[in-house]
């Protein structure tokens, strides 16, 4: 199937949103149609601060853009940082960015730039030591019409005019910026742009820089400032200047978010007071647990609002655990809780606790996962994934992940209850299950298939007496209101129906009258009355393994529950080692429905020497021939005279096959018998699938039947098999896997004529 390119673009866009660089790189090298959408995400945000040496990688980026200008159009965010070392130019220590010719050339090649960050790690970079071309390039980058976010740090003697022009942006971050008292005419402008800032961050910035912005805001008629972040040093005039800025009426009224992240653990909150902000909605504060009293300053800040008119709804607390041997400030948690319980925080909805990035060790987080940008999938997706899991150990692990996974995991764990799937006696297993659903009734609602077994297959010490007399069985059935399938299986014996206690018989009768029960399986029960089979009218899937009818109660007409207007809905019937009485009773039951509704019919290990049974089976097959679409005939291993020979020899079943979508024949037989059977069931267009179950898988035995394979291949070319679409070779699950592999190699080369006509040859080595 060929998918449109738009679908691939959407997938690649999702990878770009997750910042999965490795996968995007692989996609970009897949084909030309994947290259440009992958590269548009790979180069959307270029952060040169993540790799070292930064100068080397900046040169590589510049060379790449010079050779492929198209990549420059993808860059929407650029972050440039210098290295910790310094260069010496004419005896003056200066960063390499100050004289970078590549920066001058690369800026004009980024027309879609929206975010620009310039950071100096080597210390304060004097603006007047930058060469003129570099200064012009930086100014042009800041003047781009598309740029909405700028971050500048560690700049000395920075022109006032450039800072004034940045108020037209939406987001501005200034860290350790010192202004120059005089600015050249070509860099400053007397015309101040419109103030459009929405977010303003100050980190160790000089007071003169804040005063400049104070003048611009005070002269503006309106302000758009909503978010204010403050990271003051230990002793500086930054906090008083920011406090003066906050007191402006047009600032105090519009601020909705405030962050206080001090650069030093001993920095005080004074003179900042957030109580003057009437529309404040969220507060973010920083707590360093390295301090002996870490909650002192945060509590001073949070205790400032005292009015009930306070509108704070979200408080975020960020903790620094760097190099911390143990947690401190246990009493501070109590005081924090008491503070948030005051009436001033009556509108508080969320309290978010987080850690600084430095608190994580590199070995703690996988390098390819960005947890801050993980997708929040809806729970419906998790439910769909859990529904596909069949392994109970995996489902148990999912149930222990979180509360939201408990219900969908338990639904799959308890969907099928099979008392014979573990090496535990059936009585002990049943007691545990009964105790569970009695104490946790909600689990009983998850059970759809209940398989009641007297004990596991290999148990030779227990018996079936407990099951036919179990007093709690009626209550168990009542606790399972959504049951859809029921199985009653005996492995340690074959009890008679009259040996069942009266309350157990009544419970089973009542269970079978439920409209929700669509599947029933009975194994190794003798003396079953006809009244029990009357309850099968609503059953769609019926399995009877070694079940015998009560000769004295084998007629429906003698039963008081008999109704002439019965309309059975049976779709699938499986009979294993059937008796003549059971086949007669089934035929009498199904004959009430006209036409036949039976589609799948399976006969396993029928007694080929019983003439009465052969007659009854033929009558049943003849009656349902117009509706059957799948016949599974599995006689006893290596029968000398298969029962199907004598049954189908009377009349070809193909004469009674209707328009079936699929017809499958499972046969364990020699080729002479198999060819005879195929001749009796061939039905031209209706016969679409042939499934042959192989008992012998030894390659030597398969090769010895060379003539048989040729005869089968020739027969499938006849006109009667014109509708055949596939031939499937099946093997039992218990067969040795090595034999399965060698058999597949041999069978894959067989039926050359059929394969040439387009018939598919398939293998199902995990068959019944």
Among 302, 298, 291, residue whose Cα is nearest residue 265: 291
Pairwise CA distance, residues 225 & 213, whole Å: 12
Alpha carbon separation from 566 to 213, 537, 751 (Å, rounded): 91, 7, 48
Per-residue model confidence (pLDDT) at position 474? 92
Q: At what angle do helices 611-624 and 580-590 cross, to 10 degrees?
A: 20
Among 448, 449, 469, 457, residue whose Cα is nearest residue 426: 457
For residues 78 and 54, is the Cβ–Cβ distance under 8 A? Answer: no
Angle at 299 between CA 297 and CA 303, to 5 degrees: 125
Pairwise CA distance, residues 153 & 169, whole Å: 17
Show the low-confidence residues of the chain (pLDDT under 50): 1, 184-189, 325, 359-375, 638-669
For residues 175 and 153, is the Cβ–Cβ distance under 8 A? Answer: yes
Q: Fill in the DSSP letter of residue 623.
A: H
Among 574, 475, 578, residue whose Cα is nearest residue 520: 574
Per-residue model confidence (pLDDT) at position 30? 86
Pairwise CA distance, residues 181 & 718, whole Å: 102
Per-residue model confidence (pLDDT) at position 663? 37
pTM for the full predicted model: 0.49
Q: What are phi and psi of 33, to 5 degrees?
A: -70, -20
Pairwise CA distance, residues 405 & 400, whole Å: 8
Give residue-wise pLDDT tens across range 426-476: 888 999 999 999 999 899 999 999 999 988 877 777 778 888 899 999 999
Pairwise CA distance, residues 156 & 188, whole Å: 16
Pairwise CA distance, residues 501 & 490, whole Å: 16
Helix (H) or strand (E) holding 27: helix 21-28
Give residue-wise pLDDT tens across range 677-723: 677 666 655 677 777 777 656 667 777 777 788 888 888 888 878 87
3-state secondary structure of 49: coil
Annotate 149-174 with DSSP letters as a single string.
Answer: EEEEEEEEEE-HHHHHHGGGSSEEEE
For residues 386 and 405, is the Cβ–Cβ distance under 8 A? Answer: yes
Per-residue model confidence (pLDDT) at position 449? 93
Q: Are strands 92-94 and 87-89 parallel, antiparallel or unpaired?
A: antiparallel
Pairwise CA distance, residues 544 & 105, whole Å: 85
Residue 719, token pair as written in the block = 């006109």
Alpha carbon separation from 81 to 49, 88, 525 (Å, rounded): 5, 18, 83
Q: Are strands 449-453 and 416-418 parallel, antiparallel or unpaired?
A: parallel
């Amino acid at each position: 199937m060929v998918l449109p390119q738009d679908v691939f673009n959407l997938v690649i866009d999702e990878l770009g949103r997750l910042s999965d660089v490795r996968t995007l790189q692989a996609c970009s090298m897949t084909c030309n149609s994947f290259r440009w959408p992958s590269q548009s995400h790979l180069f959307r945000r270029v952060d040169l601060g993540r790799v070292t040496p930064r100068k080397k990688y900046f040169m590589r980026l510049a060379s790449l853009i010079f050779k492929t200008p198209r990549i420059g159009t993808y860059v929407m965010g650029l972050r440039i940082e210098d290295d910790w070392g310094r260069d010496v130019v004419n005896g003056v220590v200066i960063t390499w960015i100050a004289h970078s010719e590549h920066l001058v050339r690369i800026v004009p090649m980024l027309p879609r730039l929206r975010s620009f960050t310039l950071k100096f790690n080597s210390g304060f970079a004097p603006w007047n030591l930058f060469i003129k071309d570099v200064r012009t390039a930086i100014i042009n980058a800041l003047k781009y019409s598309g740029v909405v976010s700028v971050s500048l740090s560690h700049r000395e003697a920075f022109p006032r005019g450039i800072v004034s022009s940045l108020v037209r942006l939406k987001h501005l971050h200034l860290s350790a910026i010192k202004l120059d008292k005089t600015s050249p005419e070509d860099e400053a402008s007397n015309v101040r742009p419109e103030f459009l800032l929405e977010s303003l961050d100050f980190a160790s910035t000089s007071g003169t820089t804040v005063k400049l912005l104070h003048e611009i805001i005070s002269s503006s008629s309106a302000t758009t400032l909503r978010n204010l972040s403050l990271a003051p040093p230990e002793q500086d005039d930054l906090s008083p200047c920011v406090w003066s800025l906050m007191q402006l009426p047009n600032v105090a009224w519009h601020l909705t978010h405030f962050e206080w992240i001090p650069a030093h653990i001993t920095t005080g909150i004074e003179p900042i007071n957030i109580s003057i902000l009437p529309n404040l909605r969220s507060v973010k504060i920083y707590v360093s647990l390295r301090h002996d009293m870490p909650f002192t300053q945060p509590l001073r800040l949070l205790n400032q609002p005292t009015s009930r008119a306070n509108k704070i709804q979200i408080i975020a607390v960020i903790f620094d655990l760097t190099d911390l041997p143990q947690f401190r400030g246990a009493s501070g948690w109590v005081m924090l809780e008491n503070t948030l319980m005051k009436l001033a925080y009556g509108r508080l909805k969320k309290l978010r606790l987080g850690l600084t990035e430095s608190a994580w060790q590199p070995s703690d987080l996988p390098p390819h996962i960005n947890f801050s940008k993980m997708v929040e999938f809806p729970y419906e997706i998790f439910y769909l994934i859990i529904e596909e899991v069949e392994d109970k150990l995996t489902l148990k692990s999912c149930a222990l992940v979180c509360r939201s996974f408990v219900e969908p995991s338990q639904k799959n764990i308890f969907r099928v209850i099979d008392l014979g799937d573990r090496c535990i006696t059936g009585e002990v297993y049943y007691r545990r299950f009964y105790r569970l659903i009695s104490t946790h009734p909600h689990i009983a609602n998850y059970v759809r298939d209940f398989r009641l077994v007297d004990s596991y297959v290999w148990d030779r010490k227990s018996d079936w007496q407990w099951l036919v007399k179990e007093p709690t069985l009626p209550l168990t059935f009542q606790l399972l209101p959504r049951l859809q399938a029921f199985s009653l299986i005996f492995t340690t014996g074959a009890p008679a129906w009259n040996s069942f206690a009266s309350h157990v018989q009544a419970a089973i009768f009542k269970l079978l009258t439920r409209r929700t029960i669509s599947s029933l399986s009975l194994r190794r029960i003798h003396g079953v009355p006809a009244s029990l089979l009357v309850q099968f009218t609503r059953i769609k899937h019926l399995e009877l393994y070694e079940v015998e009818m009560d000769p004295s109660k084998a007629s429906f007409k003698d039963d008081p529950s008999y109704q002439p207007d019965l309309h059975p809905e049976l779709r699938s019937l499986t009979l294993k080692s059937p008796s003549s009485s059971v086949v007669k009773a089934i035929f009498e039951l199904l004959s009430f429905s006209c036409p036949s509704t039976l589609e799948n019919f399976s006969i396993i290990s029928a007694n080929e020497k019983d003439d009465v049974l052969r007659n009854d089976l033929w009558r049943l097959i003849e009656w349902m021939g117009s509706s059957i679409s799948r016949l599974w005939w599995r006689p006893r291993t290596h029968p000398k005279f298969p029962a199907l020979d004598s049954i189908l020899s009377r009349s070809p079943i193909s004469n009674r096959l209707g328009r079936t979508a699929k017809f499958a024949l499972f046969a364990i037989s020699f080729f002479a018998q198999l060819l005879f059977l195929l001749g009796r069931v061939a039905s031209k267009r209706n016969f679409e699938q042939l499934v042959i179950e192989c008992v012998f898988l030894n390659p030597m035995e398969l090769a010895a039947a060379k003539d048989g394979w040729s005869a089968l291949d020739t027969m499938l070319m006849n006109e009667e098999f014109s509708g055949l679409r596939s031939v499937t070779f099946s093997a039992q699950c218990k067969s040795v896997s090595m034999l399965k592999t060698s058999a597949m190699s041999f069978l894959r080369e067989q039926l050359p004529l059929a394969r040439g006509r387009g018939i598919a040859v398939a293998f199902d080595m995990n068959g019944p």
